[in-house]
Structure 1
Amino acid sequence: MNRKSINYLTTGLVSLLFAGMIASCTHDDDSPAEVTEPPFKGLDESYTIERFRVLSIPTNTSGAVSWSINDSIISQSGELEFISTKAATYPLTLKIGSKGNDKVYHSKIVVTKETGTLSKYIAKVFDFRPAVGQFMNEIPEYDQGNTAAEMLQKANGSLVGSNSTMLSLGGFGGYVVFGFDHTIPNFDGRDFKILGNAFFGNAANDPRSGNCEPGIIMVAYDRNKNGKPDDNEWYEIAGSEYFKNTTVKNYSITYFKPNENKAPVPGTENWQTDIEYIRWQDNLGNTGFKTKNTFHSQSYYPLWFSDASYGFTGTRLKDNFYDQSGTGTYWVGKSYEFGYADNAPNNDEASNIDISWAVDQNGKYVKLPGIDFVKVYTGINQEAGWLGEVSTEVAGAYDLHFKK
């Protein structure tokens, strides 16, 4: 509308015409205007990034793209995500388009040493929500009146740094979420290790069996750089059992708070016939009880949880413990081949994890430049005789690529 038209409008007519003009400019579907990305104008002369940080260079193109350093192609994505563990200068070449009709751009990436001090170990525990279990309220220890925030702080004390100790996650679904002070790179081979308390039994028929309590591993790359793990950033590490029909996806379980005054008391006369303790039910129509054993007499329900019930959803692995003795005296848990926490001794290759095993919700592999956060949860819902529930333990984690 030009200035002459505006001046023509009288006071009584302005509101009516202006409202009509707005209505005529409004689309019925309220669809947002299409946003077009600005055309690619070329590379900067150089880019600077600290080591163990991800440098992102977008091109806003859907055509053929090739990024290379010297003569080695490092990416064919429209956006380069580059990370290095070494302080050095890398000559960068970008080609856009097909042969004979491509454009070539040159730049360099300057990787500097970090200004602060980095650690290869866990830097922070973001969340700790265990399931029920025999080590609950003991590892870490619950003191009367402790809140969830105080128990989270105790979890930090257990896992942060090089002198980490153990944290028990309880039965299926119990989890811990932790992060690092840098991005762990996704390079060829395995990238990080998760520590547990798994070991192989000398008397086990299978040499890779013993005390193995596999935990599902989730990983997240902090793409928006907000310093916290967001819900839409998580991917599951597809271990050796992920694609098998014995693995249940989207398995849910609910635990119900017991009446501790009626709980079985270890060592009493009716102990062996009255061990039903914490009731659970799942989304497959199954119900059962987590039992109480003679080794731990405290409450197995997290005492800082006030709810009458709580639950978890995730990937459930096939039961891995079996009674080798046949008389209930010797139970062993079989180690799965790869991709799980607390699944093999800490000095075993199976406790090392490859970021390239990460998959999305549809089971498709994803390409991440690295990860900043890890979530571990117990992947088994099983009672192993006198040993009690199968529960994943986490005793630390570290970056396999980190060198000072």
Structure 2
Amino acid sequence: MRNNLFLKLLIVVVFLIGACKKDSYEAPAISGMTGDTIVLNIGEKTILAPNITSVGDNSYTWMVNGKEVSSGQVNYTFVAAEPGNFEVTFKVNGKGGTNAQSFKIYVEKPIAITIDELPVVTMCDVIEITPSVTGPDRTDYEYEWAVGDSVISKKRNLSFISPEAGTYALTLRATAGKQTATSTRNITVKAAQYVRNAFTVLEYAPAPAKGHNWSIIGSAEFWKYGAEFPLTYTDFLAKATAIRKENANEALVLGSWGGSATFQFDHTVANVPGKTDLEVTATYSKLDLPAVYVAYDRNKNGKPDADEWYEIKNDDYGVEDMPEYEITFTYKKTDTDNRRIYSYFDWKDNQNKSAGGEVVHTKTFSSSMTTDGTFSTKGFFPGYNMIDIGEKKVALMDGWKSSFSRKGKRITRNLTGAAPFAQPLNIDIDMAVNSKGERVQLPGINFVKVQKVVYPMQQDGTNAEGGPIDFNMDEGRMLHVAAILDKHLKNK
């Protein structure tokens, strides 16, 4: 019995001794390693410090991509000397065996910017500058172009334009992650002479009204003193262009709702950050703001293409009750008697419950003569003129149409108490938006379109003949557009 008990105790002791020996010689455990990749830039350092159990008679080895770089140290300082992916392995040898764990490190490529030598450019011309930017494969690149302390763009490629001659240092700053790089290149801008006013009239699309005078180039009140030019459509554009080139203040009468005109500069008006770029002088009231559209001739074809137009966002932007309104105007007839002449036209809009009516303008022959003995076009439908006073014959001049539509947005508003008068309208090209209302960054603009978009409330009443009075077609609310000036040019 005693022998059996002793034997059992001996077995337990041997087992415990064996167990203790086994624990003493297990492979060292490594902890404190992260599974995330460590991202570094060239020149940066990181200290790798794993935790180890059983630190007795261990030996340590560090390897980078399989090549031994250090031994005998528990910690290792990795220095990012070149870009690439690196696997840094920590290996421990102990009496109980070997264990190894790895750190993953990614060293990003440095950002490098190269800007080719830039040619001499003429002031108010746009030059496209495309730098070479290399660096890490990331999606968070940010760019900033500056001249001195003035930031001029936040895009990678720069559309550079200057309204003044001189030499400018262009600096591009590129940022990605923790990296930033800069590069500077000088550009020389040579002087040139331009006309400040957008004198070229590309399109004249007036909307008629009672008493409207389509042939005016200048102040509407001076119709009988030589401001009328009843010409064919092409000749009228040429005449308006020539007059506006000599005198920026000579206006065009755009008429009632939908009337517009499109003008062209002889240069590109620079979009200068933080400043207004254009000054449009027009006759309007505080409740009757005209809509202004601008276009940059990006493809250099000399005309404003449909996809190049952007609206300038103003205080009335987005309040239109009819974004796609349209009125069709149609010449009806001209009647005369011994003393008077009567001009008629119809108008009709595009709504499901269509509005429309007839507009009649009456004037005497004696009061319609200009100082040089010609018969005035005041009150005539656009393009129509008295070609034979003796025969009382009225005809449509070449290039004009007897029926046409004007399209655009409509803002319906009561204009009571807001008299129109000639006043400047300052335009910042940075306020240009696309059809979705999103801001667009334009280096400058070449074309301007001005349109009447506010439509007065319908008012009831009767005229002397007992017919309805349509105050929407009254000449007191006509839009006149005069000078359209480049505010950055100091010369003519």
Q: 1:298 to 1:73 in 2, by over 3 A?
A: closer
TM-score (norm 2): 0.58
Unaligned runs of 5+ in 1: 1-39, 200-207, 323-331, 335-342
Give the equivalent residue in structure 2 for 1:139: 216
CA deviation map 1:241-263 (0-9, x unaligned): 1122x44312122112212239x
2:403 to 309, 317, 324: 309
Give the equivalent residue in structure 2 for 1:281: 349
Q: Tell me which amino acid in the other structure corresponds to 1:44.
A: D
Q: Tell me which amino acid in the other structure corresponds to 2:490.
A: K
Unaligned runs of 5+ in 2: 1-111, 134-138, 218-227, 369-377, 385-396, 457-469
Give the equivalent residue in structure 2 for 1:243: 318
Normalized per residue, the structure richer in strand is 2
Give the match's secondary structure for 1:44. coil
Cα shift at 1:159: 2.9
CA deviation map 1:24-44 (0-9, x unaligned): xxxxxxxxxxxxxxxx98211
CA deviation map 1:52-85 (0-9, x unaligned): 2222212487843222233543322021122222
Decide whether the 8 Å contact of 1:128 with 1:155 is kept in 2. Answer: no
Within-5 A mapping of 1:85-100: 85-98=163-176, 100=178
2:209 is the counterpart of 1:124: no
Give the equivalent residue in structure 2 for 1:193: 279
Cα shift at 1:392: 1.1
2:128 to 49, 56, 76: 56
Give the match's secondary structure for 1:159. helix
Cα shift at 1:280: 2.2
2:480 is the counterpart of 1:403: no
Within-5 A mapping of 1:323-362: 332-333=417-418, 345-346=422-423, 351-362=425-436
Decide whether the 8 Å contact of 1:293 with 1:386 is kept in 2. Answer: no
Give the match's secondary structure for 2:332. coil
C-alpha distance in 2 between matches for 1:78 and 1:90: 18
Q: Tell me which amino acid in the other structure corresponds to 1:248.
A: M
Give the equivalent residue in structure 1 for 2:254: 169
C-alpha distance in 1 between matches for 2:323 and 2:472: 26
CA deviation map 1:208-236 (0-9, x unaligned): 6xxx7532211011112222222211111
2:162 is the counterpart of 1:80: no
Decide whether the 8 Å contact of 2:322 with 2:409 is kept in 1. Answer: yes
Q: 1:365 to 1:163 in 2, by over 3 A?
A: closer
Cα shift at 1:386: 9.4
Which deviates further from its counterpart, 303-312 or 161-170? 303-312
Give the match's secondary structure for 1:333. coil
Give the equivalent residue in structure 2 for 1:300: 381
TM-score (norm 1): 0.70
Decide whether the 8 Å contact of 2:331 with 2:381 is kept in 1. Answer: no
Give the equivalent residue in structure 1 for 2:240: 155
Within-5 A mapping of 1:253-268: 253-261=327-335
Give the match's secondary structure for 1:173. coil
C-alpha distance in 2 between matches for 1:195 and 1:250: 26
2:297 is the counterpart of 1:215: no
Decide whether the 8 Å contact of 1:56 with 1:80 is kept in 2. Answer: yes
Give the match's secondary structure for 1:402. coil
Give the equivalent residue in structure 2 for 1:7: none
Q: 1:260 to 1:301 in 2, by over 3 A?
A: farther
Q: 1:154 to 1:265 in 2, by over 3 A?
A: farther
Q: 1:266 to 1:370 in 2, by over 3 A?
A: farther
Within-5 A mapping of 1:8-19: none
C-alpha distance in 1 between matches for 2:151 and 2:479: 40
- Give the RMSD, CA atoms, in angstroms: 3.3
Q: 1:386 to 1:81 in 2, by over 3 A?
A: closer
Q: Tell me which amino acid in the other structure corresponds to 2:146.
A: S
Decide whether the 8 Å contact of 2:256 with 2:472 is kept in 1. Answer: no
C-alpha distance in 1 between matches for 2:339 and 2:426: 38
C-alpha distance in 2 between matches for 1:176 and 1:360: 20
Decide whether the 8 Å contact of 1:158 with 1:167 is kept in 2. Answer: no
Q: Tell me which amino acid in the other structure corresponds to 2:275.
A: G
Give the match's secondary structure for 2:239. helix
Higher gyration radius (CA) = 2
Give the match's secondary structure for 1:345. strand
Q: 1:254 to 1:318 in 2, by over 3 A?
A: same
Which deviates further from its counterpart, 387-396 or 170-179? 387-396
C-alpha distance in 2 between matches for 1:258 and 1:87: 56
Q: 1:281 to 1:68 in 2, by over 3 A?
A: closer
- Higher relative contact order by CA 8 Å / sep ≥ 6: 1 or 2? 1
Decide whether the 8 Å contact of 1:194 with 1:397 is kept in 2. Answer: yes
Decide whether the 8 Å contact of 1:125 with 1:156 is kept in 2. Answer: yes
Decide whether the 8 Å contact of 1:253 with 1:312 is kept in 2. Answer: yes
